[in-house]
Structure 1
């Protein structure tokens, strides 16, 4: 307890020290032209004569107002600039708050070449913000992440996700070229800070320039411009470290950029638990979280795939990670670029989880205690080659080849204790996957009014997971046909193959500046096969095949979707609307042995999008879509499938499609002048028809089969965020509210369940240049789950502190601390744990060598706590984590 108190007292002393900062005065007013009209987004730069005083800047708002924070009785040269006007420079020395209007004169020679030495720190255009990073950094920054944190309106979280004025960056470019996959994590954690010259934020980004304004893009790209001495040069850094208990880390980053050739190499070998590639990174390869909104079934199918089940583990008792990534881009000529990357990861880890499963909505509720230990070995290789051909500004061609190879194995032990079963089950799993994808996109401007695009994709996938369950007790009695044996060795193997092809042709017809008409014609086809075998390997060598009891499947599933789309895009003042209708003609065929089902269906699926631009920094977006989803092949398998040691599943080949509405409205506003930005996003999902598992539960063992359920279900989520900067303090508030009602069918009883959640986070952070910076926050999360007459409530809280201090020119000290509390209000159970990490980095100015001592989990916490709801389960879990580690690191800058 003493060490924790010392930590808290240190934080309090630092906070007290912030109040001792020097007072500032305010210089404010308007920037006007000679006709007294306000100039919005004019730049003001206040450069002090004294070296120990910071440079400050401001940008005028829509009404031309500016505000500068200055030190009293200090002399500044204030330069005001605006495109098309002569810059104004004057010296000021103030001792109190002052109001001063600045008038700029038009530049009579603006059409001629003019040399202006002054470059504004921030330039704001319609869809672009440009930061000149030298105006914000202090020299101690190591990575791009450290630079971005100091840019106004830019936020970077611990995982490397970047948001600008509340909107997430979805693609990262370096020198206008995609960096690896475009994901922000690899860029912000690896690009050296001293290589960055400018950061460009490009809203409504489109990879094909001629389609900007035609395609609706919500993407935000971040383009990193390198310093001139880094554009034809090898740069990067090498890091190596070691610690007690044989801990080690090796982390090289090497970059080479030239006008025609770019090479990026990132490596990572460690046993410290650092994960270079996560499930979230994998989602970026598959299209990102947009899948969740546009095609929920595709997203959840990806989330539940065998590969991601291995990839999704975040906490471990031990972990060894070997990661390598190589990205190469070569310009063949002025029309042709070829690029490619390969990412390889091999990870070995041990996991342990203790879970209390409370089974609800049954005649006699009961609890199960389950302990799961696993030894996992995950290997994957992902590669991509892209050919880009742009012969003219009116033509664009791109061809992509993508490959993914995975091989994941695990062996573990599951121990379960309940009133119906006490057992230990050994599990052995081996999952192999091959995925090949080819994609062709072609865009051509046919005339002034017509632009056409063609996109064709072919995708081949082969998944082959195998699982063994070994136990000395009978399991799934009455559900699987076991023969009596001294030990029960049960084998489940599965092969899923798919060949998918799709093509879509689209014409963009610009009737005039305010009216567009788009037409689409496309075909999606899928040819899938599903095979599974379930059997028992007896001790005497014989095989007990479950086929005679209705197990094992050999299924073919062919699906065709032919569609025509019509979209009308029109602008009325500040608002742009686009109603759309898609006519789909579906045909599918399911065949298992001699049993064959053929179906046809036509559906009309409307869509609507709207955008209201109240100003460049204030927008409202509206989306609506009626979606249809068809069953995955495993839901159509008519015979039994052994899903796990306590679950058997049987599909239904007669299943039809589901239908659901999805509506979304978002609003955001930001003001660099006021240091304020906020946004709110509301998403509503209503399922008219949905797939529902009918569950027969006996103890912890269950049998389930899907049906098409016609009762409506709803899901509402509202997210909000607001941040305000006052002098050197930034205040943040985040909130999330969710509501979901859904039915479950268990033991022949249909129940309506309701879950509600509310999460609030408030934090304060500082942005000093010469003093310690701290971020303090507090999160509360309340979750309610109501089923029949039972209500369960969890209340979780988290207090967190992040500290960073650059001192004595050559030292950087970082520390973070979190205290988490979990409470089950229904059972009055509570748990608390805290985690802290610290590091001290030293690098002498102008020296390539750096040294760091790093300590993680300094309180040696054993586990993390978590809770969750599912159809009939309430889970409280303890996941064990890596112990305390202390590392000494050596870094060398190339």
Structure 2
């Protein structure tokens, strides 16, 4: 029989301590064969124990610890003859396959037709087919990959949902900070991109694997490994706009680091306030409540409003330092993440407040300037002790300091008189703590997990108000006041759980949890004694969770759980307690690998904070006062119902996802308002109406026969709440909608591509009691063109957008936004000309906005960021 596989001897003999079976697969012309199937089969049982593919260089590697020799190695490929050979040890081998002599053209055509190859739970993108060389950063690549997108917060999404892990050569290096990768990794650094739909991290224990986590793995080109490299970028131009960016990195197999320095005044945020808040929340008590179904609602300190402004600003200067370090040795790993961000920002608003109780409207001119410094430092150590045991400890230090200086011209329209205020706020916050995790596989059927968390938070909030008139609204004979508000919190929690396998299709989760939180709120100011107070609030919680999981067959699975919780509270040594039961259930149906449905229900408790129990008055701003609380402790349970469905067919470039969530609180903590011309008094109360409905839809289709793609994303929400204004029950209904539709071309030749679409935003608030409606709509159609010319040395792109606004009572001008980029590549240098919003290069740009709360609706004309034109140069080394 003709020999179909010729395999040549080893590169060199391996000694007994060889750790991996490595090889290379070539054709008869000595060219590497990528995507050849590599399979290991037990010699006696014929059972497959390993499956993979060769990389673009035709290479493969298999960990010898998982192999029982002798074993059969099977190599297959659509375009080559298959063969099976017996392997007796971990040798390094060189393999040559013979080509098939029939149907070769048809097989090659079939091989090249797919943009995405799906293998079990992994999607591999064919970058050579999908990209055309016009991409300059990872974000440009992701925008061309079916099923992947980047949202407005810089987060990478797969099939409409944010990915759980961003991996660099298999290591969870960037954590949740996706923009650090998307803005700094370049195409020449990237060898492959793949989606892992059932990612198992280092903590996974065999037989008790985590499921459902999604990861995006960025495979690096060998030329960018174990080398010190980086990029320096400088740009500046008209209206003194500038950006300086330095990025250095060294991505090795065991050691990886990335240092990023950035300063700019073009509104480019490397690390946003939302990133900061998300990290801060995830490191606290949330880590103990992930598997219990509980929803801990603890009020954060009041942050200055200017931190959350984006485009509605007059000017912003950002300074940022970000450092990532990862060291992995065998089954031990150390990760360190550090970021320091400073923002200087100023803005101007001119707004009219319409109070729902029918009191006179207020016209407000507000000039805000602010400085914010926030920092996060996280050190994590992981140790996979053996195949049965895992340990990790995560320590963190977080702080921020925010200064907001406001000048407010406040005018009651019916009286015509104006009062000017200077409203200055300084907020400081420190948070430090740790959390640990330990896993131990006690037997093939029992897994033990234990968690311990402790953290300390300290917040100081200093407010100064100066008025052109006496502050009689605060019972003062002066035209100025100061207030100092201090908050301290100590949290300690422990959780233990057992996973018990009943049989191959069902398991039982048993969990015990105990937490203790001590909070102190102290208020001092220059006013009367009633404004000076100290509140001590202590919470102790003990709970037991029982959850049953069952897989009926390959299509159906379900789980049902119940959480028994005992809560004890102490408010200034006055004790209270309650007992609550929280059920949960979920049911999933997967009729095929492309289609699935899920229905989920859980009841969650809403917790109290010391702010809601304060026994004194707190001034919020120049006209808002929070009165002392009259709440008594009651158990509050939220009912949450969710429906998910998704359909994806990667080989046809079809991806879609639908999520509908409904939340209902029979009773919730809300506020009542006592409002007059000069002062709004707030007080925490219980409300008997609090409902919300969310719907998210994502759909994408890319055609194979024509270079055209289409995607749509829709986010809709409706809230309905009841509160009291001047002792009258008011019902507010708020609806918000965002719809984005885009069609774009994928011409393989990179000299021209286009995209067109539109974004629709709407917000509507109805006060059903007072019959007052305020609404805001924005329509933004756009056209975008890009390509490469002059032998691919010059890249160009331009985008034209029309912003059309509609508000319920304010006339708004349309805005034509034109931006462009012209870039010339010269080896390690890039020279570019960048324009943003070039028809609005001025200092007095404005846009309209609308703000709602439960007392009034406010329509405002807000300063908007000026356009600019910059000339830049970047150098890679």
Distance of 1:602 and 1:492 partners within structure 2: 38
2:720 matched to 1:741?
Answer: yes
2:442 matched to 1:446?
Answer: yes
CA contact (8 A) 2:580 2:635 kept: no
2:551 matched to 1:571?
Answer: yes
2:870 matched to 1:870?
Answer: no
The alpha carbon displacement at 1:116 in A equals 7.4
2:842 matched to 1:856?
Answer: no
Residues 841 and 824 (structure 1 numbering): CA distance in 2 closer, same or farther, change over 3 Å? same
2:378 matched to 1:394?
Answer: no
CA contact (8 A) 1:279 1:308 kept: no
2:650 matched to 1:672?
Answer: yes
SS in 2 for 1:276: coil
CA contact (8 A) 2:673 2:855 kept: no
The alpha carbon displacement at 1:262 in A equals 1.2
Question: Counterpart in 1 of 2:673?
Answer: 695
The alpha carbon displacement at 1:621 in A equals 2.5
Question: Counterpart in 2 of 1:686?
Answer: 664
2:605 matched to 1:628?
Answer: yes
SS in 1 for 2:141: helix
Residues 261 and 756 (structure 1 numbering): CA distance in 2 closer, same or farther, change over 3 Å? closer
Per-residue CA distance 1:733-789 (angstroms, 9 max, x = gap): 223333322212111111223333444332211122324222211233444433223
The alpha carbon displacement at 1:878 in A equals 2.6
The alpha carbon displacement at 1:494 in A equals 0.6
SS in 2 for 1:219: coil
The alpha carbon displacement at 1:577 in A equals 0.9
The alpha carbon displacement at 1:829 in A equals 3.9
Distance of 2:277 and 2:123 partners within structure 1: 27
The alpha carbon displacement at 1:123 in A equals 3.6
Question: Counterpart in 2 of 1:523?
Answer: 514
Question: Counterpart in 2 of 1:765?
Answer: 744
Question: Counterpart in 2 of 1:155?
Answer: 149
The alpha carbon displacement at 1:128 in A equals 1.7
Question: Counterpart in 2 of 1:816?
Answer: 799
Question: Counterpart in 2 of 1:562?
Answer: 542
The alpha carbon displacement at 1:284 in A equals 3.9
SS in 1 for 2:443: coil
2:297 matched to 1:320?
Answer: no
Unaligned runs of 5+ in 2: 1-34, 38-57, 59-72, 98-107
SS in 2 for 1:233: coil
2:273 matched to 1:279?
Answer: yes
Residues 839 and 722 (structure 1 numbering): CA distance in 2 closer, same or farther, change over 3 Å? same
2:241 matched to 1:222?
Answer: no
CA contact (8 A) 2:116 2:650 kept: no
2:818 matched to 1:836?
Answer: yes
Aligned with 1:336 (options 312, 332, 335): 332
Question: Counterpart in 1 of 2:299?
Answer: 301
The alpha carbon displacement at 1:146 in A equals 1.9
SS in 2 for 1:859: helix
Distance of 2:298 and 2:472 partners within structure 1: 27
The alpha carbon displacement at 1:395 in A equals 1.4
CA contact (8 A) 1:169 1:184 kept: no
SS in 1 for 2:275: helix
Question: Counterpart in 2 of 1:715?
Answer: 692
Distance of 1:636 and 1:215 partners within structure 2: 43
The alpha carbon displacement at 1:145 in A equals 1.3
CA contact (8 A) 1:523 1:562 kept: yes
Q: Which moved more, 1:512-521 or 1:695-704?
A: 695-704
Question: Counterpart in 1 of 2:4?
Answer: none
Residues 520 and 222 (structure 1 numbering): CA distance in 2 closer, same or farther, change over 3 Å? same
The alpha carbon displacement at 1:202 in A equals 1.7
Question: Counterpart in 1 of 2:78?
Answer: 88
CA contact (8 A) 2:794 2:822 kept: yes
SS in 2 for 1:673: helix
Distance of 1:652 and 1:215 partners within structure 2: 48
Question: Counterpart in 1 of 2:781?
Answer: 799
2:236 matched to 1:242?
Answer: yes
Question: Counterpart in 2 of 1:412?
Answer: 406
Q: Give runs of aligned pairs for residues 309-388 of structure 1, distance below 5 A.
A: 309=305, 311-315=307-311, 316-331=313-328, 333-360=329-356, 362=357, 364-388=358-382
The alpha carbon displacement at 1:730 in A equals 1.3
Residues 217 and 875 (structure 1 numbering): CA distance in 2 closer, same or farther, change over 3 Å? farther
Please, what TM-score do these two structures have when normalized by structure 2? 0.83
The alpha carbon displacement at 1:207 in A equals 2.7
The alpha carbon displacement at 1:504 in A equals 0.6
SS in 2 for 1:600: strand
Aligned with 2:249 (options 240, 249, 255): 255
Distance of 1:883 and 1:392 partners within structure 2: 57
The alpha carbon displacement at 1:325 in A equals 0.8
Distance of 2:275 and 2:207 partners within structure 1: 29
Question: Counterpart in 1 of 2:497?
Answer: 506
Unaligned runs of 5+ in 1: 1-56, 60-78, 91-104, 536-544
Question: Counterpart in 2 of 1:541?
Answer: none
2:430 matched to 1:430?
Answer: no
CA contact (8 A) 2:810 2:859 kept: no
| Aligned CA-pair RMSD | 3.0
Q: Which moved more, 1:514-523 or 1:673-682?
A: 673-682
SS in 1 for 2:814: strand
Question: Counterpart in 2 of 1:99?
Answer: none
Distance of 2:145 and 2:516 partners within structure 1: 47
Distance of 2:256 and 2:736 partners within structure 1: 47
The alpha carbon displacement at 1:426 in A equals 0.7
The alpha carbon displacement at 1:675 in A equals 2.5
Q: Which moved more, 1:754-763 or 1:736-745?
A: 754-763
SS in 2 for 1:311: helix
SS in 2 for 1:631: coil
Per-residue CA distance 1:259-316 (angstroms, 9 max, x = gap): 33211111101122211111332244146799899899757834xx344745322132
Residues 138 and 799 (structure 1 numbering): CA distance in 2 closer, same or farther, change over 3 Å? closer
Aligned with 2:862 (options 862, 873, 879): 879
SS in 2 for 1:190: coil
Distance of 1:408 and 1:217 partners within structure 2: 40
Q: Give runs of aligned pairs for residues 36-115 of structure 1, distance below 5 A.
A: 86-89=76-79, 115=95
The alpha carbon displacement at 1:356 in A equals 2.2
Distance of 2:125 and 2:589 partners within structure 1: 27
Residues 248 and 405 (structure 1 numbering): CA distance in 2 closer, same or farther, change over 3 Å? same
Count matched residues. 773
Q: Give runs of aligned pairs for residues 580-729 of structure 1, distance below 5 A.
A: 580-591=561-572, 596-650=573-627, 651-652=629-630, 654-699=632-677, 701-709=679-687, 711-726=688-703, 727-729=706-708
Q: Give runs of aligned pairs for residues 455-474 of structure 1, distance below 5 A.
A: 455-474=451-470
Per-residue CA distance 1:212-244 (angstroms, 9 max, x = gap): 885765432112111122221122311111213
CA contact (8 A) 2:276 2:374 kept: no
Residues 568 and 476 (structure 1 numbering): CA distance in 2 closer, same or farther, change over 3 Å? farther
Distance of 2:754 and 2:728 partners within structure 1: 54
CA contact (8 A) 2:359 2:677 kept: no
Distance of 2:543 and 2:727 partners within structure 1: 39
Question: Counterpart in 2 of 1:167?
Answer: 161
Please, what TM-score do these two structures have when normalized by structure 1? 0.81
Distance of 1:129 and 1:528 partners within structure 2: 48
CA contact (8 A) 2:294 2:605 kept: no
The alpha carbon displacement at 1:163 in A equals 2.0
Pick 1 or 2: higher relative contact order, CA cutoff 8 A, min separation 6: 2
